[in-house]
């Protein structure tokens, strides 16, 4: 989605952005006190970026799942110098509470002697996700509102959050602009999916909607 956003108008209000905030990237996980929390849970693309990028990604995902009847390259340089530190730092800011094992190591070399950064976290402990396919369009919109509230709270934990409130004001102009963009992006996503289907038929490769590394074919197209 980054190429669609890089040349679009920007507010210039940078936040600790999740980087990929569709409704599917919110879920349940355990706190250090063993409480079950619901929050953003995917930060591998987190970066300092315009806050509206996260909002666009979220609104577009709701539009695609719920349908229109239910809804009225400019990244900053990484000051930490480590991909692991980038992910961990960006996760600690927006999340209400992060897991106790969250961390990173830098410069670990494998057999190929290439140094790499590694991101450390709990794997599956107490983690659950909403089965989005089971939601009706109306419930998808309600779930989208919940995710939007959490995203707003996450951005408000960023330095300079007061400027976001001032930019949004009290009118509905921003919301209408996001809905208009989401509709256009949903149309684009539908066109891209049809192109992918035709390409799959041409090369006679399987098309899957879920990923299982143990069953992944040598020749295949992956749709997430």
pLDDT at 124: 67
DSSP secondary structure letter of residue 219: S
- The domain of 121 spans 2-170
In a domain, 184, yes or no: no
According to DSSP, the β-strands at 103-109 and 115-120 are antiparallel
Question: Residue 184's CB: how many other CB atoms inside 10 A?
Answer: 12
| Token pair listed for 103 | 């961390």
Angle between helices 137-156 and 161-168 (to 10 degrees): 130
Angle between helices 137-156 and 51-66 (to 10 degrees): 170
| Token pair listed for 60 | 């577009």
In a domain, 61, yes or no: yes
In a domain, 43, yes or no: yes
User: Where do we find the tokens 């990604």?
Assistant: 57
Dump pLDDT digits (tens) for 72-81.
534 344 445 6
pLDDT at residue 37 tops 70: yes
Could you tell me which residues are beta bridge partners of residue 16? 48
The mean pLDDT of 82-108, rounded to a whole number, is 76
In a domain, 175, yes or no: no
Dump pLDDT digits (tens) for 118-167.
877 776 667 888 999 999 999 999 999 999 999 998 888 887 778 888 88
In a domain, 162, yes or no: yes
In a domain, 220, yes or no: no
In a domain, 199, yes or no: no
Per-residue pLDDT band for 70 (boundaries 50, 70, 90) equals low
Q: For the chain, what is the domain count?
A: 1
Phi, psi angle pair for 119, to nearest 5°: -105, 130
């Amino acid at each position: 989605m980054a190429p669609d956003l890089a040349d679009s108008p920007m507010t210039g209000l940078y936040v600790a952005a999740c980087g990929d905030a569709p409704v599917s990237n919110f879920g349940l996980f355990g706190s250090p006190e063993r409480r079950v929390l619901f929050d953003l849970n995917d930060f591998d693309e987190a970066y300092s970026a315009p806050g509206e990028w996260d909002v666009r990604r979220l609104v577009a995902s709701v539009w695609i799942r719920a349908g229109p009847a239910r809804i009225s390259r400019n990244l900053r340089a990484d000051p930490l110098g480590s991909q692991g530190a980038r992910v961990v730092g960006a996760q600690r800011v927006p999340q209400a509470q992060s897991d106790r094992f969250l961390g990173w190591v830098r410069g670990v070399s494998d057999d190929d002697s290439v140094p790499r950064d590694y991101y450390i976290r709990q794997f599956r402990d107490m983690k659950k996700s909403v089965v989005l396919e089971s939601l009706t369009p109306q419930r998808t919109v309600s779930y989208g509102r919940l995710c939007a509230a959490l995203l707003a709270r996450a951005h408000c934990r960023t330095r300079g959050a007061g400027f976001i409130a001032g930019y949004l004001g009290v009118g509905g102009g921003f919301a209408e602009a996001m809905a208009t963009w989401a509709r256009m992006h949903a149309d684009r996503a539908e066109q891209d999916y049809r192109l992918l289907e035709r390409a799959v038929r041409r090369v006679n490769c399987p098309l899957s909607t879920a990923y299982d590394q143990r069953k992944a074919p040598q020749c295949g197209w992956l749709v997430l």
